[in-house]
Amino acid sequence: MVATAVTASLFPVISPSPDSSAEGNKHAGGPTNLGGFKSRHTSSRGLKVKANAQAPPKINGAAVATSVETCKHDDVLPSPSPRTFINQLPDWSMLLAAITTIFLAAEKQWMMLDWKPRRPDMLIDPFAIGKIVQDGMVFRQNFSIRSYEIGADRTASIETVMNHLQESALNHVKTAGLLGDGFGSTPEMFKKNLIWVVTRMQVAVDRYPTWGDVVQVDTWVSASGKNGMRRDWLLRDCNTGEILTRASSVWVMMNKLTRRLSKIPSEVREEIGSYFVNSAPIIEEDNRKLTKLDDNTADYIRTSLSPRWNDLDVNQHVNNSAPQSILESHELSSMTLEYRRECGRDSVLQSLTSVSGVDVGNLAYSGHVECKHLLRLEDGAEIVRGRTEWRPKPVNNIGIVNQVPLND
């Protein structure tokens, strides 16, 4: 009744007059149908009301109908009220629940945007590709050491370090606006079908980073002779500034179609010349001659080696193939590589290694180890000569190599 009164006050409905109701019942000849529900017919023996009944009470000057008056014309009921705007509104409880859900989701998003890291080293943007520093001469990029980039001793592998060197070099070219449609080639190089190939690489590792470390890589380029380019790298611990790795390399141009070395065209020199830094190599060049190995001088020989598909880059030659560790108790401290020719997917290789200064049968108990390497094709054509130096792995949380610490 209260709801009906409120509805009537907001949306007044004109009630039919008694005469019209009586006339409607007269023509209908029966009880009124209320939307499919039949009204209860009142007989002539129904409740009788005296004519001199008490006047209806008043509240604040307005008359209020009594229950007796309501039943007075029970046999003459009005037709059902038409559907109004209020009757067609949706369920308010469902609407309120939806609004609450939206506000809770928005509040959660604001909390995530207002999140502050607890450690300063977590401020590193993992999606940044680096930036140009030192008056546009040096490119700098940070790398976070991932869990899948470490080995059993919980340190990054030499493969991870080499990948960081390559990635920062390519991003340097890209950030400087010199990246054409080729893999590290400038627009003029792309027009002339030229690509970069490395002829010499020298790396010195002071310490390998561990999982969660952030490595800062600085790289720059310089001229190397008349037709070469030198690229240097300096890797530091981003938090402490400790130098981790130094690397230097020499690059020349090769025609992608003829696979022959090429001079640097004047158009390309104009593109890259302004980025050359007049500085000495970051590593003192190792001028010791890399001697050639053969079947008689090599201590270890592996044959029928084939490059894997993931060893190839977009120029279809082997790039940064992961070196095989000669000892599980040693780690690579430095290496010098001289590339003689490229290696493709269909190449079948032979690897020759000689160990200097130690007993080959007791390598696990040796100190520093030096090795000489030769990678060649089956027909004897040389691909790369190399020299590597190894040092004992430092004591770490694993303890003895290849053993899991157990509680006594």
Divide the 408 residues of the chain into consecutive groups of 10 and give the mean pLDDT of each group.
41 44 43 41 42 48 48 50 56 71 69 45 53 92 93 88 94 87 83 93 96 96 93 96 97 93 94 93 90 90 77 55 60 93 85 81 76 91 92 64 42
Instruction: Give the pLDDT score at 22.
Output: 42
**Which pTM was predicted?**
0.64
Reported as a single tens digit per residue, the pLDDT across 229-264 is 999 999 999 999 999 999 999 999 999 999 999 999
Selecting among 142, 171, 172, 317, the annotated active-site residue is: 317
Q: How many CA atoms within 13 Å lie on the side-chain side of 343?
A: 27
> What integer pLDDT is reported at residue 45 of this predicted model?
44
Would you state the pLDDT for residue 276? Answer: 95
**Segments of the chain assigned to CATH 3.10.129.10:** 120-285, 293-408
Q: Which of 25, 163, 193, 315 is catalytic?
A: 315
Distance CA 78, CA 74 (A): 10
pLDDT value of residue 37: 39
Q: For residue 123, what pLDDT is reported?
A: 41
Q: Write the DSSP symbol of residue 23.
A: H
Q: Please give the pLDDT value at position 81.
A: 57
343 part of the active site? yes
Active site residue 371: no
List, as one string, the DSSP characters of 281-310. Answer: -SS-------PPP-TTT-SEEEEEE---GG
Q: In Å, what is the CA distance from 138 to each residue of 7, 176, 187, 202? A: 77, 10, 21, 19
Sign of the alpha-carbon torsion through 239, 241, 247, 248: positive
| Residue 334: half-sphere exposure toward Cβ, Cα within 13 Å | 16
Count how many residues are written for the chain. Answer: 408
pLDDT on residue 86 = 53
For residue 210, how many C-alpha atoms fall within 13 Å in the half-sphere facing its CB? 7
Of 172, 343, 371, 373, which one is the catalytic site residue? 343
Q: Which residue, 384, 400, 381, 382, is CA-closest to 392?
A: 400
CATH superfamily of 293-408: Hotdog Thioesterase (3.10.129.10)
Structural fold of domain 120-285: Thiol Ester Dehydrase; Chain A (3.10.129)
Q: Say whether 315 is catalytic.
A: yes
Q: Report the chain's C-alpha Rg in angstroms.
A: 44
pLDDT of residue 80: 57
